[in-house]
Amino acid sequence: MAAPVISSITFDQATYAPGAKVTATVNYTAGTQGTPLVFSDVATDKATGLSGSLSATFMVVQPDSTTHAASDSGGRAWTQVSDSGTVAVFTATA
């Protein structure tokens, strides 16, 4: 399993006038989740009917969808307007 990673956050302007729309774009890589599966084999001797078994665990790794929690130090309300799985866009009022 791996945690998601945010590679960059960018804004559509360098400076905003009060009341303007702030757009933040977050580029990220989703993390992974691992599903543990158990492989088991039982070997049976045909002549005696005796058997032995062994088990081993392997992992199936899959992409893990993500949730975002956007905030800022000014207490603005941020709205998520899109999320492609690698790019999420948020807006708020400056």
Partner 1 sequence: MISYTFTDKLTGKASRLSSSKSANFTVSPAFGFNSDIDTGFSGVQGTLGISRFPGAKYFYGNVPAAPPAVPAGTVMPIFCLKPTLPIGSPGVANLGNFFRQMRPGQMATIYQEAEHDGYTEAQIKAAHATASTVFDQNAPKGCRYVQCLMTWDASGKSAHGPLNQWVATRADGSPLDMYGFDTYPNTATSPAGSVLDAALAELKLVVPSPVIGITECNYTTDLTGGITYTAGTQAQWFKDAWSWASAHNCLTFISYFLTAHGVPWPPVSATLTELSAIAKASGL
Which chain residues interact with partner 1 by CB under 8 A? Answer: 1-6, 8-11, 13-20, 22, 24, 26, 28, 30-34, 64-74, 76, 78, 88, 90, 94
Pick the closer one to partner 1 by CB: 58 or 85.
85
* Residue 67 to residues 27, 37, 82, Cα–Cα distance (Å): 13, 26, 12
- Total residue length of the chain: 94
Amino acid letter for position 19: G
Shortest Å, Cβ 84 to partner 1: 14
CB of 1 to partner 1, least distance (A): 5
User: For tokens 């000014």, what's the residue?
Assistant: 74
Dist CA 57 CA 42 (whole Å): 15
Question: Which of 53, 73 has the CB closer to partner 1?
Answer: 73
